Amino acid sequence: MLDLTDDDTLSDIGPDVAEDRRGKPFVASVGKCFQVLKAFRRGQTDLRQRDLGLTEICKLSGLDKSAAQRFSETLVTLGYLEKDPQTRRYRPGIALIDFYYTYMVSHRLAQIAMPILIEASKVYDTTVNLCELAGTDAIYTVRIPQAKASYGTMLAGRRVPAFCTAPGTVILANMPEDEADAVLAASDLRKITEQTVTEIPALKAQMAEARRLGYHVSDRQSQAHNVSTAAPVLRLDGQAVAAVHIPGYAPHWNLESVHEKLVPLAVDTARRISDSLTEAM
Amino acid sequence: MLDLTDDDTLSDIGPDVAEDRRGKPFVASVGKCFQVLKAFRRGQTDLRQRDLGLTEICKLSGLDKSAAQRFSETLVTLGYLEKDPQTRRYRPGIALIDFYYTYMVSHRLAQIAMPILIEASKVYDTTVNLCELAGTDAIYTVRIPQAKASYGTMLAGRRVPAFCTAPGTVILANMPEDEADAVLAASDLRKITEQTVTEIPALKAQMAEARRLGYHVSDRQSQAHNVSTAAPVLRLDGQAVAAVHIPGYAPHWNLESVHEKLVPLAVDTARRISDSLTEAM
DNA sequence: AACTTTGTATCACAATGCGATACTTTGTTC
DNA sequence: GAACAAAGTATCGCATTGTGATACAAAGTT
């Protein structure tokens, strides 16, 4: 009944440490509390399970039992986890949602893009997404969903690997080459489907092509049956800040119809957002 | 150009401490780091400003300069804040979005509700929301937006006071009376507009009426020019777990047309979700 | 150029978080 | 249903870790 199966690839939640921030003050307890929260994301994608026991939190967070207990209880007190008094298991708390709002409310790009994306979604009654690059992942920040999509693909916050997805490709294609190279070098270049391209030269050729064309079509590179397209949102200086992504799900859309209809829609939508952006920034 | 003005009431981010959790282990550093993150939410609604300097973080979080620095830098290292090297100001980091996904992906109610809400939004081309109660606030967890709405009202994670909004009223009306009373008692019963009802007896009468009718129409109680309606999503035992909320914005909708069209839509949508729920739970 | 404001670095102290250990409860097996 | 295993909770002395007053540096302002 509850089908959590997802057809596309998920990324884990990113590296635990950032760049060269050594020397900066760092409060270890804070890092550990986020390890606990991350455990729930890992736990969910792995086990399709909504809540975790203390022992599972230990394993998924890498903390010992005492620490896991302390931080879990702390997070319950703060409302970021909830604890079932019966089962004594923990689950994500509703207060977590606050941070989405905190991030998005100050996000000018999303603010500008939202109405344009909504309009676009109506043209062919399709899902339309806005993606941004975060490390080696593309994160969906705004999603205008359609009823037939699977639940996981309706949610903002989803991460997918940049190198093998249409939105990732167009963003990488329109950023400084050395930065793009760094992302590829840091990426875990695994074959997700049979079609996934994993060789750096082939990927760079794809990116060059995407840059030339102004869009990219991902033909079952990360999803077995689906074709999706993306076009870059560009700053005045030509650098990509995001991508408009439109998936074409299997029965209804194919390579041909995506090229004919969704590609122009994605390109046009991204261009409209880019134009509005440069005015405001 | 960038209009961040919002027409409805926002709640602050909730109490800093929960119930009677004394005795439970608590890591103070973790609490303080969340004070810093909350500062950004406060800062944004107050100042309509996207980033905060260290001194502002001090004021908004209640921490001293050293602590503010330590926790801000820690959060930067973890990716939950970003720091502009030029201005040395901090802003929310994209990694914050991860927690929305973490919460939502395991949320069976949202999963069930999403397609039904999408369908409903197409009937009159309106925004349709799913709200849940958190403390004295109603939090929007799922929003199907329409292009004409203001940005703030498109975002999941928004909090509004329960007592003076339609979704809050229908949820309070369909929960154990003592719990509802407790929520009202804890609420900050301020007049938001001229029409806001703030007397407990009047509020309880409203709730009784909402319970009898199966819906509630909020006539400019929290928004000066708008009328909105909500209907409860009920568990098999009749307890509310959420509310379907449909706002009727001013020029297009009025009290009459809301009653005629949006009320039946909200009631029907909430009932369809309730029915799917009980099967699954 | 003098001043104010804001951000960064330092460091000795002890409070605070740590985690090994022991205890209690749940639920699993025979 | 007794015996056992596994998961969750409580305890507590130690020293690690975070603390915050102070001093310093770098931007902004007059």
Write out pLDDT tens, residues A76-122.
999 999 998 888 899 999 999 999 999 998 888 999 999 999 999 99
Spans in chain B with pLDDT lower than 70: 1-23, 43-49, 279-281
Residues of A in contact with B50 (CB under 8 A): 106, 108
Q: Please name the residue that has the structure tokens 């729930």.
A: A40
* pLDDT at position B132: 97
Half-sphere exposure of B256 (CA within 13 A, CB side): 1
* pLDDT at position A87: 87
Ramachandran category for residue A77: left, alpha or beta (phi over 0 → left; psi -120 to 50 → alpha): alpha
Distance of residue B257 Cα from the nearest chain A Cα, in angstroms: 24
- Verify whether the Cβ–Cβ distance B100 to A280 is below 8 Å: no
Count of CB contacts below 8 A, A vs B? Answer: 248
- Looking at chain B, which residue has its C-alpha nearest residue A33? B30
Tokens of A54: 């203390």
Nearest-angstrom CA–CA distance, A44 and B45: 32
- Verify whether the Cβ–Cβ distance A79 to B40 is below 8 Å: no
Average pLDDT, chain A: 87
| Overall average pLDDT of the A201-219 stretch | 95
Nearest-angstrom CA–CA distance, A275 and B8: 30
Poorest-pLDDT segment among A7-16, A120-129, A156-165, B75-84:
A7-16
| Overall average pLDDT of the A242-258 stretch | 92
| Overall average pLDDT of the A18-25 stretch | 58
Distance of residue A142 Cα from the nearest chain B Cα, in angstroms: 9
Nearest-angstrom CA–CA distance, B233 and B216: 13
* pLDDT at position B149: 85
* pLDDT at position B214: 97
| Closest nt to residue B55, judged CA to C1' | C6
* pLDDT at position B161: 94
Share of chain A above pLDDT 90, in %: 63
Q: Which amino acid is at B69?
A: Q
* pLDDT at position B226: 82
Residues of B in contact with A155 (CB under 8 A): 100-101, 104-105
Residue A129 β-bridge partners? A143, A245
For residue A50, what pLDDT band results from cuts at 50, 70 and 90?
Answer: confident
Indicate yes or no: strand C within 7 A of the C-beta of A106: no
Distance of residue A129 Cα from the nearest chain B Cα, in angstroms: 13
* Rounded distance in angstroms from the CA atom of residue B72 to the C1' atom of nucleotide D18: 14
Poorest-pLDDT segment among A217-226, A267-276, B83-92, B124-133:
A217-226
Instruction: Identify the residue among B102, B148, B150 best suited for mutation to test binding to A, counting A beta carbons within 10 A and taking the highest.
Output: B102
Helix (H) or strand (E) holding B163: none
Nearest-angstrom CA–CA distance, B92 and A123: 33
B12: Cβ contacts below 8 Å, ≥ 6 apart: B41, B42, B45, B159
Indicate yes or no: strand D within 7 A of the C-beta of A26: yes
Of the candidates B100, B232, B241, B114, which has an alpha carbon nearest to the alpha carbon of residue A2? B114
Distance of residue B58 Cα from the nearest chain A Cα, in angstroms: 17
- Verify whether the Cβ–Cβ distance A114 to B145 is below 8 Å: yes
Query: Is the four-CA dihedral B207, B213, B216, B217 of positive or negative sign?
Result: negative
* pLDDT at position B112: 94
Comparison of pLDDT for A274 and A62, the residue scoring more: A274
Indicate yes or no: strand C within 7 A of the C-beta of A38: no
* pLDDT at position B277: 86
Query: Is the four-CA dihedral B110, B114, B120, B126 of positive or negative sign?
Result: positive
**Residues A80/B30, Cβ–Cβ less than 8 Å:** no
Q: Would you give the distance in Å from CA A271 to the centre of its chain?
A: 21
In Å, what is the CA distance from B160 to each residue of A1, A113, B60, B239?
33, 24, 20, 21
- Verify whether the Cβ–Cβ distance A94 to B45 is below 8 Å: no
- Convert the pLDDT of each residue in B14-23 to its tens digit: 443 334 555 6
Query: How many residues can be counted in chain A?
Result: 281
- Convert the pLDDT of each residue in A114-135 to its tens digit: 999 999 999 999 999 999 999 9
Q: State pTM to two decimals.
A: 0.89
What own/partner pairs with CB < 8 Å and gap ≥ 24 does A67-73 have? Answer: A67/A32, A68/A36, A69/B25, A70/B25, A70/B26, A70/B27, A71/A29, A71/A32, A71/A33, A71/A35, A71/A36, A71/B27, A71/B30, A72/A36, A73/B21, A73/B24, A73/B25, A73/B26
For residue A281, what pLDDT band results from cuts at 50, 70 and 90?
Answer: low
Please tell me whether residue B171 adopts helix, strand or coil conformation: helix
| Overall average pLDDT of the A240-269 stretch | 94
